[in-house]
Structure 1
Amino acid sequence: MCFYYGYNDFLMDKLLQLFTVAEAVEFFEANEVARPVTVRTNTLKARRRELAQALINRGVNLDPIGKWTKVGLTVFDSPVPVGATPEYMAGHYMIQAAASFLPVVALAPQENEKVLDMSAAPGGKTTYCAALMKNTGLVVANDASRERSRALVANIHRLGVTNALVCNYDGREFPKVMGGFDRVLLDAPCSGTGVISKDASVKTNKGPEDFEMLTRLQKELILSAIDSVNADSPTGAIIVYSTCSVTVDEDEAVVDYALSKRPNVKLVETGVDFGRAGFTSFRGKAFHASLALTRRFYPHTHNMDGFFVAKFKKLSNKIPAADNTFVVPTGSGVQFKQKKKRAQT
């Protein structure tokens, strides 16, 4: 199978742990076919029905993506480049993978809120948040890469977003840079095992050291995202964690880690009514039971990029300390209670 599909031994073994052999073959076959081109209507400038009609008039063959989104369109074929139409130039839509709608659907930003997109480039999710917020409040669009931020700024201008602030910080520096957000979206850097159809190099260029580095970064980022949210927000206190990876190391294991390190958050329903439930146990390792509320999406079952979405609700701005109180046994000659100090991040 490594020879036939072109994967290295390490990644093949990891994926065969995730699926049965029959389903693994379906997954590998789906990765050999490009996902459908999808666009998101920019509701700041257009309505989906009007946009669809304008593109149909140009000879574009399209349909709504599905009942779960009111702004998405699937483009089956087009006589003109979809990224060069007058409607595109005018900012009436964004070319965006259907799976990347999902984290914003889960985040559900409200008008006049203060929202952080921690890893924002090239801007699909940021501009979707701004559209849902109707250009009110504030969207802080952060990305660690200055180079990638150029596309982010260009898309913000093209789509007519006026409530965004762009910055270039390592996401792990929040909330020292800025905190008190109503909602935070962390679409974390990942191995890309869900988007192999777009980048076939993932089949061979990922090894154990890459996963070790990535999972460490993801764990640091998710704690930073949680700490950046204000639990007293009257409308939010929501954190959404997502990846375009299907591996448990980068998905359930990271979320389970966050729950253990931040007992002041809990998982809640994502608001996405399809997809598979996340794993509550994997290869002998048990995760928190609430991991069943997370959602997984696969190329071979949902005809979209492989994706993972988890939604947290922050309950308190104070991280509860473990009770390390102990009492010296009676008869030892010493009568006192002592509480160990616990360092808090």
Structure 2
Amino acid sequence: MNNNAHFPAGFIQSLQQAPGFNADTFTETHQQNHAPTSVRINPSKEITLNNTQPVPWCRNGYYLQSRPSFTFDPLFHAGCYYVQEASSMFIDHIIQYIYNKENGPYRVLDLCAAPGGKSTLISSALGDEDLLVANEIIKTRVPILTDNLNRWGRSNVVVSNNDPKAFSRLKGFFDIIVVDAPCSGSGMFRKDPDAMNEWSEENVTLCQQRQERILADVYPALAEDGYLIYSTCSYSYEEDEAVLDWLCEEFDMESIQIPLQTEWGIVESRSAGHKAWGYRFYPDKVKGEGLFAACLRKRESSGEVHVHKNKNQPKPNYKEIDLLKPLVNDAAGMYFFKLNDDWLAINKSLREELETLQQYLYIKKSGVRLGKLAGKELIPDHEFAQSLLINKESFLQTELTYDQAIAYLRKDNFDLDTINKGWSLMKYQGQVLGWAKLLPNRMNNYYPKEIRIISQAQATQPSEGGAE
């Protein structure tokens, strides 16, 4: 039997001319089917990982020896780490190369952001004065993106739900745009064999056309001398180097060479026409899945959007804001604003950017939602609990055992031996999971039902291979 038989018809043949492709070792690796497990820790919620190896192209990335049940690790739900495929973490290496804090602050767009792997990665790379807009085109995928960014805890983040075309009105607004484009998915064949059923040469062509349309739509939003990071999880030349040639042909873009270390095993390629640099990840050469990534700089101006200053905003309710300030870290550096009955906060330096975005985009999250004021008491939002904004010393704090933490994450009520009364941060190993309202000898669980653990599998404490 042909050892290529499990691949779609024509797939191996279509890659014969792809840079760095070796059909024999590629096929053998897929037959072994040992996909590595990797996580990326949240540098703002530091934890210690045991029995790991670092991902060489990502500062916060680690390979685990085995795949634990992340669902039953409270530290995962606390936003201490994100489970992400190692090759995708290469975006961190690109950003580290092009990001210069002296040239900031930066405005960064992650255009196709759900479920949030690259958005949380970008968030960790940015400073507090920078802005991240994480956009998801498909409405049903926005909640998971928002949840993951809420867990990550940063306050300089906006989540939007827009078609790429909407960004063309934000001329020259972004300094970096990341487009992890929808693709034919061949880079995921080992991790997700079902993806093979979707692959065809016709689909590759359709994906290439869609990628070019998305890039053309968002291109005006990139500032002159701004950077476009383009990636796919496809091996097909048409979706990778050919798209780079198209970008250089259609627009005034300059390819950026990203430094590599030979031992990483990443294949550096050049496009046929404009010799644009690209970076290919093959699972027989790197410890990760298939990825293509490239970086280009825009050399022309598409004009500039007027940064909006909303002079007609209602006068802030300073009495209510004064009630909120003691609950918030660095309150002097935050802009407090109200959306319906909810109070939110975002970095004060980003107020004008937020008001500009509100004119053009459908926004689902901006900064951190603190909660509602009932008289002088804040009814806190779950988003506030997991954010880095929260002044933990202003609230009760309850440390949970592992079994209690899992019960809490299932949204169960359970007995607590406490005499405390009021809103409490529920914590596991010092990391915040969410809120509960404590009453004498009992509690009301306020963990959001939309993200509770619903698996009926038996919870077991994470092993030495996981996060501790």
- TM-score range, shorter-chain basis? 0.7 to 0.9
Correspondence 1:202 to 2:195: yes
Counterpart Cα distance in 2 of 1:316 and 1:116: 19
Partner of 1:29: 28
Counterpart Cα distance in 2 of 1:42 and 1:197: 27
Counterpart Cα distance in 1 of 2:20 and 2:120: 38
Aligned to 1:230, what secondary structure does the other structure show? strand
Partner of 1:173: 166
Partner of 1:88: 76
Aligned to 1:139, what secondary structure does the other structure show? strand
Aligned to 2:48, what secondary structure does the other structure show? helix
Partner of 1:247: 236
Counterpart Cα distance in 2 of 1:25 and 1:19: 15
Partner of 2:227: 238
Counterpart Cα distance in 1 of 2:63 and 2:35: 10
Partner of 1:51: 48
Partner of 1:100: 88
Bigger strand fraction: 2
Correspondence 1:317 to 2:301: yes
Aligned to 2:187, what secondary structure does the other structure show? coil
| Deviation digits for residues 202-241 of structure 1 (CA, Å, limit 9, x no counterpart) | 3232223312211001111223343211116xxxx11110
Counterpart Cα distance in 2 of 1:314 and 1:20: 28
In structure 2, give the amino acid aligned to 1:62.
Answer: T
Distance 1:30 1:74, change over 3 A: same
In structure 1, give the amino acid aligned to 2:48.
Answer: L
Q: Does structure 1 retain, via aligned residues, the 8 Å contact 2:58–2:92?
A: no
Partner of 2:416: none
Cα displacement (A) at 1:166: 1.0
Aligned to 1:144, what secondary structure does the other structure show? coil
Q: Where do 5+ consecutive residues of structure 2 fail to align? A: 304-468
In structure 1, give the amino acid aligned to 2:18.
Answer: L
Cα displacement (A) at 1:19: 7.4
Aligned to 2:65, what secondary structure does the other structure show? strand
| Deviation digits for residues 76-105 of structure 1 (CA, Å, limit 9, x no counterpart) | 126x52343232122111111111111232
Partner of 1:216: 209
Partner of 1:261: 250
Q: Does structure 2 retain, via aligned residues, the 8 Å contact 1:142–1:168?
A: yes
Counterpart Cα distance in 1 of 2:171 and 2:250: 21
Cα displacement (A) at 1:180: 1.1
Partner of 2:59: 70
In structure 1, give the amino acid aligned to 2:26.
Answer: F
Partner of 2:11: 11
Partner of 2:281: 297
Correspondence 1:144 to 2:132: no
Partner of 1:114: 107
- The structure with the largest alpha-carbon Rg is 2
Partner of 1:335: none
Correspondence 1:308 to 2:298: no
Distance 1:65 1:224, change over 3 A: same
- Written as runs of structure 1 = structure 2, the 5 A alignment for 1:121-140 is 121-140=114-133
In structure 2, give the amino acid aligned to 1:304.
Answer: G
Q: Does structure 2 retain, via aligned residues, the 8 Å contact 1:39–1:97?
A: yes
Superposition TM-score, scaled by structure 2 size? 0.59
Aligned to 1:51, what secondary structure does the other structure show? coil
Counterpart Cα distance in 2 of 1:305 and 1:155: 22
Q: Does structure 2 retain, via aligned residues, the 8 Å contact 1:259–1:266?
A: yes
Correspondence 1:287 to 2:273: yes
Q: Where do 5+ consecutive residues of structure 1 fail to align? A: 281-285, 320-345
CA RMSD of aligned residues (A): 2.4
In structure 2, give the amino acid aligned to 1:105.
Answer: H
Distance 1:86 1:201, change over 3 A: closer
| Deviation digits for residues 295-315 of structure 1 (CA, Å, limit 9, x no counterpart) | 111110012111111111112
Distance 1:37 1:179, change over 3 A: same
Superposition TM-score, scaled by structure 1 size? 0.78
Cα displacement (A) at 1:156: 0.6
Q: Does structure 2 retain, via aligned residues, the 8 Å contact 1:40–1:93?
A: yes
Correspondence 1:270 to 2:254: no
Distance 1:318 1:174, change over 3 A: closer
Identity rate of aligned residues, in percent?
Answer: 28
Q: Does structure 2 retain, via aligned residues, the 8 Å contact 1:107–1:185?
A: no
- Written as runs of structure 1 = structure 2, the 5 A alignment for 1:184-203 is 184-203=177-196
| Deviation digits for residues 43-83 of structure 1 (CA, Å, limit 9, x no counterpart) | 1221xxx422xxx3xxxx322223x32211111126x5234
In structure 1, give the amino acid aligned to 2:234.
Answer: S
Cα displacement (A) at 1:249: 0.5
Aligned to 1:302, what secondary structure does the other structure show? coil
Cα displacement (A) at 1:177: 5.4
In structure 1, give the amino acid aligned to 2:95.
Answer: L
Counterpart Cα distance in 2 of 1:247 and 1:159: 33
